[in-house]
Amino acid sequence: MNNAGSNKKKIAVIENGLFSTYTMRDGLMQFLLKEGYEVTILTHTNSFVSQVEKTGLKVINIGSGNVNPVKVLKYIFNLYRALKRIEPDVCLTFSIRPAIWGNYITRYLKIPTVTNITGVGPLFTSKNLAYRIARSIYRPALSKTKKVFFQNFDDMDLFIENNFVRKEIAERIPGSGVDYLKFSPIDSNGRAHDHFIFLFIGRLIKDKGIFEFVEAARIIRKKYPNVQFNVIGPFWSQNLKSNTITQSDLQNWIIEGIIDYHGEKKDVRKFIADADCVVLPSFREGTSNILLEGASMERPIITTNTTGCKEIVDDEITGFLCNVKDSVDLARQMEKMILLSREERMIMGKKARQKIIKEFDKKIVLDAYQKAIQNISKDARYDFNNYMNSLN
């Protein structure tokens, strides 16, 4: 890497979607900018480009490398070309495609890389061809990575046990963490409604549990017709077809009156404040950001008893856990939440925030990244000094 002519260190961030950079990783990006780094995001761009660039970040569109071989090759070429142009001192990668293709290319270009495994989903269990290929190429992709962060211990143990990553470079961090000052409680005593509101926030894909949420809503509405079910999140087509919902699914739910759909929102705090309970019936997460944000705002949680969700909730204390892929059990937990008094839910919410501050503070994540990048800089200086000494 040669950044001659510029004293500013460069960091390249390879990300699936710019929305994640603008929301859940905004704190990390702003921290890197304040530390004096020039930060460039390599991703497929969307409507958030201008907002992201206003924060001081640079954005390069490298397209989306899905399972189509032609698009994958184009994605790899664009990624290689962008990294050659930037010549970053460090590269950060997030999620599966960047973790695989990004690490292969940074390894070839000898760019020190820090990878964040944001979740594994069905990586180790699916018989789908795309996941079988991913399993076969993940291990060599990570073989030269300087640091691999995991958002929960289950994922980290899986990667270590399957020899996908060396134990000495693996570290668990609390997801993306949460800025508990930004996501502070908002007084909702003056709410305009007098009915109960459940809130789902997430990409509208099957493994977030959107079908279970809708079916549980149908069950609840038969007994409690005034309960409202708010949904926020993008209609998503980037996943495998087996994991996506259709536009007609969404339209039918809206027409049926089962959900109130509010689209995609950058700032969800108003909706969390207006809700009585945040619900995410996900099949598996890295660490759910929306559950962190909801709990930080003193909202009780209902989520599944699965990796990346169960760690955020103390069952019966800060919320309720339900079975995975079980809309009947989800409805059962929803009814339990409805039947609590407002005071009981407030106590749950306060305990939820205390847990978040103690275990999921974003500062823990920022400190981990700062340490990893500093260690890379030390290694680079060590290698340079050894090289200079060999010339003498």
Cβ neighbour number for residue 294 with a 10 Å cutoff: 33
pLDDT score recorded for residue 237: 64
Greatest mean pLDDT among 44-48, 172-176, 187-191:
172-176
pLDDT score recorded for residue 4: 47
Q: Report the alpha-carbon distance of residue 333 to residue 351 in Å, rounded.
A: 18
Per-residue confidence at 83, pLDDT binned at 50, 70, 90? very high
Tokens of 50: 């201008």
Could you tell me which of 324, 299, 329 has the C-alpha nearest to residue 312?
299
Per-residue confidence at 51, pLDDT binned at 50, 70, 90? confident
* The one-letter amino acid at 352: A
Tokens of 329: 């059990």
Could you tell me which of 77, 90, 76 has the C-alpha nearest to residue 12?
90
The pTM of the full predicted model, rounded to 2 decimals, is: 0.85
**For the segment 114-134, what is each residue's pLDDT rounded down to a tens digit?**
999 988 877 777 777 777 877
**For the segment 312-355, what is each residue's pLDDT rounded down to a tens digit?**
999 999 999 999 999 999 999 999 999 999 999 999 999 999 99
Could you tell me which of 261, 121, 123, 131 has the C-alpha nearest to residue 201?
261
pLDDT score recorded for residue 266: 84
User: Which of 113-117, 286-290, 388-392 has the lowest average pLDDT?
Assistant: 388-392
User: Is the pLDDT confidence value at 385 over 50?
Assistant: no
Q: What is the DSSP letter of 46?
A: -
pLDDT score recorded for residue 133: 78
User: Is the pLDDT confidence value at 391 over 60?
Assistant: no
pLDDT score recorded for residue 380: 56
91 three-class SS: strand
Strand order in the sheet with 10-17: 58-61, 38-44, 10-17, 90-94, 113-117, 147-150, 170-172
Q: Report the alpha-carbon distance of residue 52 to residue 35 in Å, rounded.
A: 18
Could you tell me which of 170, 119, 150, 173 has the C-alpha nearest to residue 359?
173
**For the segment 209-241, what is each residue's pLDDT rounded down to a tens digit?**
999 999 999 999 999 999 999 999 987 665 566
Specify which residues 61 forms β-bridges with: 43
All residues at 6 or more sequence positions from 64 whose CB lies less than 8 Å from its CB, including other chains: 16, 44, 71, 75, 238
pLDDT score recorded for residue 194: 75
Q: Which domains does the chain have, with CATH numbers?
A: 10-177+361-391 (3.40.50.2000), 197-359 (3.40.50.2000)
Q: Report the alpha-carbon distance of residue 59 to residue 42 in Å, rounded.
A: 6
Per-residue confidence at 67, pLDDT binned at 50, 70, 90? low
pLDDT score recorded for residue 284: 92
Per-residue confidence at 384, pLDDT binned at 50, 70, 90? very low
Question: Residue 139: phi, psi to the nearest 5?
Answer: -60, -55
CA neighbours closer than 13 Å in the CB half-sphere of residue 114: 22
Q: Report the alpha-carbon distance of residue 105 to residue 245 in Å, rounded.
A: 33
pLDDT score recorded for residue 111: 95
> Average model confidence (pLDDT) for the chain?
88
Taking a C-beta distance cutoff of 8 angstroms, is the pair 174, 359 a contact?
Answer: yes
pLDDT score recorded for residue 359: 96
CA distances from 130 to 102, 107, 127 (A): 17, 22, 8
pLDDT score recorded for residue 316: 97
Per-residue confidence at 173, pLDDT binned at 50, 70, 90? very high
